[in-house]
Amino acid sequence: SNRTFTMIKPDAVKNGHAGAIIDRFIKEGFRIVSLKLTKLSAEKAGEFYAVHKERPFYGELVDFMSSGPIYAAILEKENAVAGFRELIGATNPAQAAEGTIRKLYATSLGENAVHGSDSDENAKIEGDFFFSGLEQF
């Protein structure tokens, strides 16, 4: 598949970086398929990150992801999942390469500005979590 799913996380929205980040997506050749500003309840954030339920940082992650508005988006480009993960950089901004979105805009390991799907299968699941069929064209 040539699509991935992303969220601009509450830290980046709060810090005023959402516009620059969306601009960067477009400049890097990603077409915006679907895009919305929304806010996750704690319940919905817990559901989205259910795969991390047993991890020690799960509670912190759920609190953070439901702490403020986020942008959710489906993006399209050849080799989207891998290309997008390269664009955002390592999970921990301290380890992220120069010029990557996390290097530029992330606050910390937990508050790391953006999410990017880790597989084509999860990109579809995550996109469907936020967007109806009518919103994905």
Active site residues: 115
Q: What angle do CA 48, 25, 15 make, to 5 degrees?
A: 70
Among 23, 43, 47, 60, contact with ligand ATP (rule: CB under 6 A): 60
- The total of other beta-carbon atoms located within 10 Å of residue 108's CB is 12
Nearest distance from C-beta of residue 136 to ligand ATP, angstroms = 20
**Cβ partners under 8 Å of residue 84, min gap 6:** 4, 6, 30, 75, 77, 116, 117
Per-residue tokens: 98:
């120069």
Residue 100 binds ligand ATP (CB under 6 A): no
Nearest distance from C-beta of residue 37 to ligand ATP, angstroms = 18
List residues forming the annotated binding site for ATP.
Answer: 9, 57, 85, 91, 102, 112
Query: Which positions lie near ligand ATP, rule CB under 6 A?
Result: 57, 60-61, 91, 109-110, 112, 115-116, 118
